[in-house]
Structure 1
């Protein structure tokens, strides 16, 4: 809305395009857990089973980050070939915008774990209060950055509140249920994602758009999960849970997902 007030329609188009792919990719992540997370937490809260709520929160946070982080880093690494292949070189201004917004969208994927706990333990007022503050922050940043930096300013202005929301939510949930965020696994998962991203970027950079995409994506997936296993982020119990998630995926993705999990299983003992 604010961008259109200060910049030409073409720049608004680049901005909207840059948002389309990250939003589609990352917002599909909570779908893997289906609609079971919030009802499960609500049920355990009604039974005063805080230990089970902590376990659900811990597992949900870990699995959502395992899915969100590589999508974000991979999206940043492959933004240029994706935009070039889908829309052409004339849409190059959307590349940097897409790279900027992938990170906050990854955090948005993780928000599902903490927001489900907040609603499950009957604390929606916290979301309302926090959201109100973040909206004011977003408006202020938009009015400050867009006139000077255009679409890039808009991307940054909308990204900062989204990135700020996650640690605020995590702090609130940790205090309420007495369960810290799995920081160790977060660092390891981020490291695995960065390693994957470097390999993916290098392959597509030297092999070209089409061949680079065809080879870098499967190579990146293998390297990512192999790194997770080597860092002991994924164990036998995690593998069982990941296999159960297959049923919640869209039918088009199930076969590919099953292939990946089978490959991961060869490394897990």
Structure 2
């Protein structure tokens, strides 16, 4: 099972980087929420949500396409990059115009508009940096992008804390993000020129249509992913108010910071399942089902723990002023469990060259999410938005599973799925009984109960133990040596 061992090691590497970036961002989010209060935090969260929906149009698959083109023709990097840079600039200017138009159309006040404009400039600059990082990935020099990403997160956190402690508020915070992104852009551009290529601005207009067409095939799915994931905050801001956006995002950010796990596992798994789809379907099935099993066994108890411990978690992180956020966290936690399953099924569809299925599924889910929010938010506020998010995720899991069955194969999932549900339920009841005593004791107690239940249900077979033995250090995995 060397292949699964490689997946685990690759996942650990990716997880460490993404976890560090997410934790730095999350520390700032917690401080912002506590320092500014629900209304100003809601303004900041709204601006981020709106921009995450709009700024994706400044890319439209250019970064992914550039990775592929550079990997195939490294000698022609300067010529390739010229056309990508030119189109990126066109996309960026158009997106900036859309940001200004949408913000004015929605009728927000001057402070909110300035927050969106400043943060929008920061996001667009960062998007440009992402295009240059694609060159590093095309040359398989991921360390440059990783170091720069961590550095950017450190700068955002440092500048943000200094600005907020100095009393400059949410507008000052946005300027700090802009400053960090400018530094990140300059450093990325310097490394690109010093280590990879000098950019000559000679355009090849005959290549532009190819880049636009192929880039859209890569990027349209991301557009609908962002709509599905972030439109609820925008709708809450107009239909209810900024304070509610703050309460909702306080809970949602806890879930988001944990969603790096399914993403990292999917990234690590993709090259392997894609290769085995062409060369060895049986091995592909074996790797996929084992990875899905571990994803479910990790995702379900995490969601259960968040739901049961929502009140003490919100109280510890955000304070008593955000007590209302606990209700949202109890519901949103289940998107975490479902995202593990969705990531695995989506990865398998991409490995089988069925990317369009993923895009179609996201179009459907984005539309359904908007409709459900329109129905639920007026009556139930951020609780309605939370329910809409979970129900849409259920639909996405159903659609992706159906597509996998139709286009790839019928995976065996019932056995470990039932064990994960039963184990998580037993763990949840045990943790509920002790949650009033200590949050720090409840978590290890819950993990212990969950593992005991899984062992009692004989969830792990000989192959699982062999994989564990391979992952452990030699002195641990080989008794007597």
TM-score strictly above 0.5: yes
Displacement of 1:179 after TM fit? 2.9
Q: What is aligned with 2:79? A: none
> What is the CA-CA distance between 1:239 and the residue it aligns to?
3.2
Q: C-alpha distance in 2, partners of 1:169/1:29?
A: 15
Out of 446, 459, 465, which is 1:233 matched to? 459
Q: CA deviation at 1:45?
A: 1.5
Pair 1:30–1:237, CA change in 2 (3 A): farther
- Quick one: distance in 2 between partners of 1:161 and 1:131? 10
Backbone CA RMSD of aligned residues: 2.0
1:215, distance to aligned residue in structure 2 (A): 1.6
- Aligned position for 2:253: 20
Do the aligned residues in 2 keep the contact of 1:68 with 1:106 (CA within 8 Å)?
yes
**Number of residue-to-residue matches in the alignment:** 242
Deviations, residues 178-225 of structure 1 (Å, cap 9, x unaligned): 2334112101111101111111121113x2xxxx21221111111111
Q: Is the 8 A contact 2:266 2:344 kept in 1?
A: no
Per the alignment, in what secondary structure is the counterpart of residue 435 of structure 2?
Answer: helix
Q: Unaligned stretches of 5+ in structure 1? A: 248-260, 263-269
Unaligned runs of 5+ in 2: 1-233
2:392 aligned with 1:161, yes or no? yes
Q: Report what 2:241 is aligned to.
A: 8
Match of 2:370 in 1: 139
Partner of 2:380: 149
- What is the distance in 2 between the residues matched to 1:174 and 1:189? 22
Is the aligned partner of 1:41 residue 2:267?
A: no
CA distance 1:96–1:245, shift in 2 (3 Å): farther
Larger relative CO (CA 8 A, sep 6+): 1 or 2? 1
Whether 1:77 and 2:311 are equivalent positions in the alignment is: no
Deviations 1:4-43 (A, max 9, x none): 0011211110000110111212332442x37331111111
Identify if the C-alpha distance between structure 1 residues 82 and 5 changes in structure 2 by more than 3 Å, giving closer, same or farther.
Answer: same
> Which runs of structure 2 are paired with 1:191-210 in the superposition (5 Å)?
191-205=422-436, 207=437
Contact 2:259 2:336 in 1 (8 A): yes
Mapped to 2, the partners of 1:242 and 1:71 lie a distance apart of 21
Q: 1:72-114 deviations in whole A, cap 9, x for unaligned?
A: 0011111111111122222110001001011122101221211
Residue 100 in 1 paired to residue 326 in 2?
Answer: no
Task: Measure the CA separation in 1 of the matches of 2:471 and 2:259.
Answer: 16
Higher alpha-carbon Rg: 2
SS of residue paired to 1:233: coil
Question: Given the two structures, how large is their TM-score scaled by the length of structure 1?
Answer: 0.84
Counterpart-to-counterpart distance in 1, 2:395 and 2:247:
25
For the structure 1 residues 242 and 22, does the alpha-carbon distance in structure 2 shift closer, same or farther, using more than 3 Å as the test?
Answer: farther
